[in-house]
Amino acid sequence: MSLAIRLLGKPQLERDRVPVPPPRGRKTWALLAYLLLCERPPPRSRVASLLFSEADDPLGALRWSLADLRRTLGAADAVAGDPLELRLPPDASVDIIALTAPGDEVSFSRPEGELLEGMAFSSCPVFESWLGVMRRQLDGAARAMAHDETLVRLAAGDTARATELAGHLVSQDPLDQAGQELLIRCLARAGRHQAAERQLAECEALFRRELGVLPGPELRSAASQADPLAAGAVGDGDAALGQLEAGQAALDAGAVEPGVQIVRQACAEAAASGDASLEARCLAALGSALVHAMRGRDEEGALRLHEALRLAERYGERATVAAACRELGYVDVQAGRGPSAGRWLTRATKLAEGNEELCAVLAVRGMALSDRAHYGAALDLLNRSVARAERCGRRRQVAWSLSLIGRVHLLRGELSLALPPLDESLALVAAERWTAVRRWPEALRAEASLLMGRPEEAAGRLDHAFRLACRLGDPCWEAMGARLMGLLTARASDTAKAREQLADALARATRVSDAYQWVHAHVLDSAAGLAVETGADDAAQIVDRLAELAERCGLRELVVRAHVHRGRLGASGALAAARLLAAEIDNPRLDALVGPAVPA
């Protein structure tokens, strides 16, 4: 018998497509949702305190609710033990699991409502806080999957469905620049150029009115009637291959604009030649260049990668499929679209097994997990990436993966473990003359110096990293540098200047539509901490911005930090909610921040 559990919208269960009588108690639904979304089986005492603290016998009330849940699920052993373990049939389908942990092949369907829609739990304030976080996280997951599906449809030429999906995304959040760009691109691809220009004008007016700024130039590029791949090709496959190699050489040498233009020409030439396999390789190279070498071009880059993927799958180009999936995963990691990233990276891992590509895939997966505070699993993948890259002689990949290992230890406050991988990463970057990436491990190494109480050493390292980021025009790493400047200035007790520097860091972090959302949230956390500490008038506003971003993107540690900030501002139950959420995260530094653990 098949079991279907639906917790988005009005909760319901079905067995063999026949509705099952619902639980007798509303809190049984809450219990089921909590058990499904917990990272690890929770202790009974924690669940009893969370849901039944007002009862005379919280553990007795929990036993009643567990019995109600077993009856509803139709299995005496459906949930048992201490900690509580939920055991569902292997063929059970659960809508929230399909949304948060999709497989590598999944068809997107828009959720019909929010988690436990219509239910409130005012007698359980900590659970109510947890439920609010999960609702926003699931909404972010649904938006991520809709964004992904829009690009799939657009690459397939289904502009009508793509436009419909993009329009829904914009209606949900008109100030999301990436969504606006996607809608404008859909309209232009559909030949609806007047509608694209009209949407662009409306977007610019909205941004000017609400934010006091204009959206980036990538939106106007998306509205352009000209196809940048459609000019001047004669169909010479050899020329396409030569252009591809020349373009990649230019990109490797740091000549970004000329390199991208040459790869565009290679795409057009390959398409005109009729060599679909070569066209797929060229499109994948173009997508990768747009994502890594040019800021504000991730949306176009992702579309080119989807186009490459369709061709490569059709003609059996396994290596191109693996690379495209890995790059699409990377785009989604930076954008904070965790479920979509997981889908692409799962596919990339299967395809890359046994070849050199796997070390790069493992690194992106480790980056994704560390962003979301799954630190143990991240370290495992990153160490495997380093070992495999060393065997393959891919020194640049070793450097990148080592920098991510250093970041994990830095976030966990393990400075003695952070320094060796960061120093080795910097040495490899210097040996490889990989100037474009140096600013990343150097900024992390500067923060390590600051945390060790060496502000002068930190300032020296930071100065070089920040100037390099500014010279290369990379807003994410500029923001990391400006953030550290603010922390250094705050340490010197110049609060007013520190706040200015952190505000500058926020402006840099959001200067382009394809910002790295972990960096954005990391900067917000620092700005919120200083604002709360100094009693700034806008402290609550900054904390709310942090909470909204971190919850939507599933950045678990930064969600906890937002609740800690709220607790310090006097919000009732915020610190208790922070402790509950922190119990899922293995980070000694975070444990020290939130204080005593939730009941175990």
Give the HSE-up count for residue 248: Cα atoms under 13 Å, Cβ half-sphere.
15
Structure tokens at 180: 């606006």
Rounded mean pLDDT, 511-519: 88
Q: How confident is the model at residue 251 (pLDDT cuts 50, 70, 90)?
A: confident
Nearest to 561 by CA among 373, 337, 367, 365: 373
CA angle 23, 25, 27 (to 5 degrees): 110
How far is Cα 337 from Cα 145, in angstroms, rounded to an integer? Answer: 8
Distances (CA, A) of 317 to 271, 312, 323, 391: 16, 5, 10, 25
For residue 175, what is the DSSP state? T
The strand order across the sheet containing 3-6 reads: 18-19, 12-15, 3-6, 93-94
What distance in Å separates the CA atoms of residue 7 and residue 499, rounded to the nearest whole number? 42
Asked if pLDDT for residue 388 goes beyond 50, the answer is: yes
Q: Answer yes or no: is pLDDT of 341 > 90.
A: yes
pLDDT bucket at 98, cuts 50 / 70 / 90: confident
Give CA–CA dist 462/467, Å, rounded.
Answer: 8
pLDDT over 60 (residue 175) = yes
Closest CA to 219 of 296, 306, 307: 296
The mean pLDDT value for 92-106 works out to: 79
Q: What is the mean pLDDT of the chain?
A: 92
Tell whether the torsion through CA atoms of 528, 530, 534 and 537 is positive or negative. negative
Is residue 279 pLDDT above 60, yes or no?
yes
How far apart CA 516 and CA 478 sit, in angstroms, is 12
Highest mean pLDDT out of 269-283, 463-477, 502-516: 269-283
Higher-scoring residue by pLDDT: 420, 236: 420
What pLDDT is recorded for position 465? 85
Is the predicted pLDDT of residue 534 greater than 60, yes or no?
yes
Question: Is there a contact between 582 and 591 (Cβ–Cβ < 8 Å)?
Answer: yes
Bridge partner residues of 5 (DSSP)? 13, 94
Matching residue, tokens 């359980």:
124
Is the pLDDT at 230 greater than 80? The verdict is no
Give domain 3-138's CATH architecture: Orthogonal Bundle (1.10)
Rounded CA-CA distance 524/488 in Å is 16
Confidence grade of residue 229 (pLDDT, cut at 50, 70, 90)? low
Site of tokens 């110096």:
449
Instruction: Look at residue 242 in the predicted model and tell me its pLDDT.
Output: 95
pLDDT, position 102? 64
Helices (H) and strands (E) in the chain, counts: 28, 6
pLDDT of residue 103: 64
353 pLDDT exceeds 90? Answer: no
AA identity, residue 60: G
pLDDT at 225: 62
Lowest pLDDT segment from 212-221, 535-544, 590-599: 590-599
Check residue 469 and give its pLDDT: 83
Distance CA 66, CA 286 (A): 54
Q: pLDDT > 90: what percent of the chain?
A: 82
Lowest mean pLDDT among 254-263, 310-319, 447-456: 254-263
DSSP 115: B
- Does residue 581 contact residue 591 with C-beta atoms inside 8 Å? no
Residue 16 gets the label, from left (phi > 0), alpha (psi -120 to 50) or beta, of: left
SS (H, E, C) 439-467: HHHHHHHHHHHHHCCCHHHHHHHHHHHHH
| Mean of pLDDT values over 22-36 | 95
The pLDDT of residue 599: 47
- pLDDT of 205 above 80: yes
pLDDT at 356: 86
Per DSSP, what are the bridge partners of residue 64? none
What are the tens digits of pLDDT across the range 420-455?
Answer: 999 999 999 999 988 878 889 999 999 999 999 999
| Residue 1, pLDDT above cutoff 70 | no
Give tens-digit pLDDT for 41-83: 999 999 999 999 999 999 999 999 999 999 999 988 999 999 9
Neighbour-count burial for 207-243, b at 16+ CB within 10 Å, e otherwise: beeeeeeebbebbbbbbeeeeebeeebeeeeebbbeb
In the chain, what percentage of residues exceed pLDDT 70? 96
Q: Which of 374, 329, 376 is nearest to 348 (CA)?
A: 329
Q: What is the pLDDT of residue 112?
A: 76
DSSP 225-291: SS-TTSSS----HHHHHHHHHHHHHHHHTT-HHHHHHHHHHHHHHHHHHT-HHHHHHHHHHHHHHHH
Separation CA 68–CA 45 (nearest Å) = 18
Question: If pLDDT is split at 50, 70 and 90, which confidence band does 218 have?
Answer: confident
Q: Residue 253's pLDDT band (boundaries 50, 70, 90)?
A: confident
| Dihedral, 76, 82, 86, 90 alpha carbons, nearest 10 | -80
**Residue 600 pLDDT level (bands cut at 50, 70, 90):** very low
For the chain, the structural domain boundaries read 3-138, 157-223
- Residue 280 reports pLDDT greater than 60: yes
Cα–Cα distance, 249 to 237 (Å, whole number): 18
DSSP per position, 184-197: HHHHHHTT-HHHHH
Q: Comparing 39 with 590, which gets the higher pLDDT?
A: 590
